[in-house]
A and B are shown apart, each in its own frame.
Chain A
Amino acid sequence: MADFQEQQTPQAGFFQRVSELIPFDWELIRHASAEPVPYHIKKWWFCLGGTVLYLFVIQVATGIALTFYYVPSPDQAYESVAQITQDVRFGWYIRSLHKWAANCMIVAMFLHMLRVYFTGAYRHPRQLNWCIGFLLLGITLTFGFTGYSLVYEQLSFWGATVGANLAEAVPLIGPTIAYFLRGGPEVGENTLTRFYVLHIGLLPTLAFGLVFLHILLIRLHGVTELEFEGKEVPEKERHFRFWPDHATTELLIGVLLMYLLTIMALVFPAGLGEPANPTQTPEHIKPEWYFYFNFRLLKLTSLRVSVVFTMALGGICFLWPFIEQWLSRKFKVPDRVWVMLGVLAFLGFLVLTVWESFVQ
């Protein structure tokens, strides 16, 4: 931990007056934000976590904007989305940003997870943060699922139906979960309201809380200091300043993301399919791409098998740091085995996803 120096600047005087009004130990915050950053963070791979956070902020901002026009009722939902896309000024832009930021956020999240895994940053004493992160992944995927259903296109409706049916296949508690999600025995009016509440109320609250904990734990533990084989780094270069250096990096990523998302919105704006028709099932129902691996599994096995398998996989992933810890100690497993496992798992996910994308 580096020493800090108090500098008497106009800003300092102002802060002093504020701290009299709110008698909190502001030094703690200053201290936390002045934490020097290990030099390896300069590598761009390590910015993925921040990327996810930034995209989440964009989602909240554009999401709130969209809420001004969206109507969560089955007979008005589609029309309100059409209104946003075709009538409201810059409506297509805000909606497209929301759509692309969602997709990018999930991609960045997967990549972040990969980075954390392959740098072993989940290992003792940081196991809990991995669990929190994994919960955040689940929440984000649920965000995607519920959000897409709100558009109330054909695929929205039928995707929700399939999703709820999958939930039903969970052993023991499945039917209850499905009943809760649907708000009844079938996808109907209640479903849209529930998905809406999940999407703009419950999930954001959970997300805010977990994100706060996630970042808090990082600050508390300090960023993992890594050693790289064969690279001797001189002492004075081992750390660099959070402000302004790292902050500027974060700004850079922010603007870059805004630029790329805007381009995506211009070139591939969010479209509108056929409005939901509960009496007509479309030929090919597909979930969003981040569920393809699951969907492919479902088609290769059966409903029960794929759901149970997915749950088991989820459980293992959630508790991974503990599992790995136990296995490592028990069997003296060399590191490269874990690396290989990670590679295989990722490849498996990739193969299933790409496979599903080619199939009707």
Chain B
Amino acid sequence: MDLTVKRYIVAALSFLFLVSLLLVAYQESRRLRVERKLEPVVTALNKGCVDCHRTDSPALVMEWEHSQHAAYGVGCVDCHSANQGEVDAWLHEGEYVSALVTPLDCANCHEKEYREFSQSHHAKAGEILASLDNVLAEKAAGMPGNNADSVNGCWQCHGSIIRFERDEDGKTITSGKENRPVIDSDTWPNSGIGRLNPDGSKGSCHACHSRHAFEAKLSRSPENCGKCHMGPDHPQIEIYNESKHGIAFYANRDRMALDTQGDWVLGRDYSAAPTCATCHISSYMTPNGQYTANSHDVGERISWTLRPVISTLLNSVIYQDGFKEDYPHTRELPEIGDTIETIEKVVENEELVSRTVPRQVARIVTWEERRQVMKGACLNCHSDTYVDNFYQQFDDLVILYNEKFARPAKAIMDDLLADGVLNPNAPFEHHVQWVYFELWHHEGRRARHGASMMGPDYTHWHGMYEVSKHFYQEFLPAVVEVARTKGAAMGRKYEQRVEELLAQEEHQWVKGLSDQEAEELRQMYQQRYNE
């Protein structure tokens, strides 16, 4: 090889060497800047716990080590410590602990979230015990001495009332050499979001923030909400999965920055899709370049209630102490400063009781204002005409359900009660009561929820189609049938009632379409299916 060529090669290799050295320097500078995952810190206080439980329940300790808590040195005792004398506390290896960690415990550090959460409907989820749903679980499905359906079913989402085993004198029974209080196994384990805790707090933070890793990415994922917000009576997760929002999410999960530490902001940290948390809890960018604070009060941005037989818009009355009440728009709002006798449900002696508490009105938030906050999230991706038109579509569907089916059905049911056909003490005695229940509680809700979250199939086929089918084919005949059980005259009365209903314009189609419509229908089927 020619010397000159060789020299040029050396020069070229020197250049390559230099480039590689620059890469080394770059790597070195990056190394110092990169924020690495911090090793978990076991403080002296928690060392004893970790040492034992690392062999007793290794995966649990590993999960904790993975958490942000461990990175700051917040460990077992910091959350599980209890005070002597509390019903759930016992002396364990030198410390008073409780297996129950309630929102009040979390509030020691997470005060804002606790405040918001305890005002919300999530915290009230355990107060459904006087509802028809409860009757179905305890009476229809359950039996005296065994309410396993409530325990395994309803309460696991809604939350149980935590109870302890007691002797005849009402003292808690203890067991084991540590004299650990025995908890009623029906009521725990339970991490229902509205769990009613012995310390008076409501709810369970780890319903959404699964322990012991408490990963943000889990809480922000739609599947998390889907544990409870699913099923025939409120298929939010199924609707979300059907919708474009859901599709966008699943296709772009890796772009969602779910692991973001601290505030997770739509329009800053991620843009690919909204999750449940995005619209109902989390922060989003606003046009002034700032972002909204997040709020654990999940109802803050809700304008309709889609839960009852007849949907209403919701105004919010907030009292001095933070207590919140939803006022249907049909109910007259109080003035700020008024003292109202509010009804609150609390646990006394391990039972849910109603208490009347006078409170002073501090603030009123109208349904329009609540909707505006929700719209703020939508406007990150959609124009205001788009958003407004959507709400118009949504409103119209709710009104359609309300006016065509809900109101007439409810009126008939009220009359059946008034006429003594139905026994107010026997809510599920007759076929018509089951049909009516499902009409508003199942398909009626599916239709409304479907419209609220852009799931067209749920709105129609799982929703309004089934509402209309059951209304015409099941409900109306069942009304007549149950009326007949009270005698021929009653039967005729309700036959007539149904006739009058079906004579109304929106129901006339049952008896016959117009000639023109019928002809068009025939021709359409001939062309398409050759029949």
Contacts and interface: CB of A to CB of B under 8 A. Distances in A.
A–B contact with Cβ pairs below 8 Å: the answer is yes
Interface of A: 42, 89-90, 92-93, 244-245, 248-249, 251-252, 255-256, 258-259, 262-263, 265-266
Contacts of B27: 93, 266
Interface in B1-48: 1, 3, 6-7, 9-10, 13-14, 16-17, 20-21, 23-24, 27-28, 31
A248 B3 contact: yes
Nearest to A259: B17
Given A244-B3, A252-B6, A263 B13 contact: no
Nearest to A262: B20
17 contacts: A89-B28, A245-B3, A245-B6, A252-B9, A252-B10, A255-B13, A256-B13, A259-B13, A259-B16, A259-B20, A262-B20, A262-B21, A262-B23, A262-B24, A263-B20, A265-B24, A266-B20
A263 B21 CA distance: 9
A311 B18 CA distance: 45
B87 to A, nearest CB: 44
Size band of the B side of the interface? 10 to 19
Contacts of B3: 244-245, 248
Given A252-B13, A262-B17, A266-B20, A93 B28 contact: yes
A251 B10 contact: yes
A341 B151 CA distance: 80
Nearest to A241: B3
A262 B13 CA distance: 12
Nearest to A97: B24
B6 A90 contact: no
B23 A266 contact: yes
B28 A90 contact: yes
Nearest to B21: A262
A251 B7 CA distance: 9
A248 B7 CA distance: 7
B28 to A, nearest CB: 6
Interface of B: 1, 3, 6-7, 9-10, 13-14, 16-17, 20-21, 23-24, 27-28, 31
What 6 pairs across the A-B complex have the smallest Cβ distances? A262-B20, A259-B17, A255-B13, A252-B10, A259-B16, A248-B6
The interface centre, meaning the residue of A252, A256, A266 with most chain B CB atoms within 10 A of its CB, is A252
Nearest to A249: B6
A249 B7 CA distance: 9
A255 B10 contact: yes
Contacts of B14: 255
Interface of B is mostly: helix
A248 B17 CA distance: 16
Given A93-B28, A252-B9, A256-B13, 16 more contacts: A42-B1, A92-B31, A245-B3, A245-B6, A248-B3, A248-B6, A248-B7, A249-B6, A255-B10, A255-B14, A255-B17, A259-B16, A259-B20, A262-B17, A262-B23, A262-B24
B30 to A, nearest CB: 12
Contacts of B21: 262
Contacts of A89: 28
Nearest to B14: A255
A126 B3 CA distance: 31
A248 B10 CA distance: 8
A92 B29 CA distance: 12
B205 to A, nearest CB: 36
A245 B2 CA distance: 9
A262 B24 CA distance: 8
A266 B20 CA distance: 8
Contacts of A93: 24, 27-28
Contacts of B9: 252
Contacts of A90: 24, 28
A5 B1 CA distance: 25
B24 to A, nearest CB: 5
Nearest to A256: B13
A318 B262 CA distance: 67
Contacts of B6: 245, 248-249, 252
A222 B384 CA distance: 90
A256 B17 CA distance: 8
Contacts of B13: 252, 255-256, 259
Contacts of B24: 90, 93, 262, 265-266
A255 B1 CA distance: 17
Contacts of A255: 10, 13-14, 17
Nearest to B11: A255
A93 B6 CA distance: 29
A266 B25 CA distance: 10
A252 B6 CA distance: 8
A259 to B, nearest CB: 4
A243 B350 CA distance: 98
Contacts of A265: 24
Contacts of A251: 10
A265 B23 CA distance: 11
Nearest to A93: B24
Contacts of B10: 248, 251-252, 255
B238 to A, nearest CB: 47
The interface centre, meaning the residue of B9, B13, B28 with most chain A CB atoms within 10 A of its CB, is B13
A90 B26 CA distance: 10
B17 A258 contact: yes
A96 to B, nearest CB: 9
Contacts of A258: 17
A93 B20 CA distance: 11
Contacts of B23: 262, 266
B61 to A, nearest CB: 18
Contacts of A259: 13, 16-17, 20
Nearest to B12: A255
A241 to B, nearest CB: 9
A90 B23 CA distance: 12
Nearest to A240: B3
A291 B240 CA distance: 60
A248 B24 CA distance: 26
B22 to A, nearest CB: 10
Nearest to B26: A266
Contacts of B16: 259
Nearest to B10: A252
B128 to A, nearest CB: 53
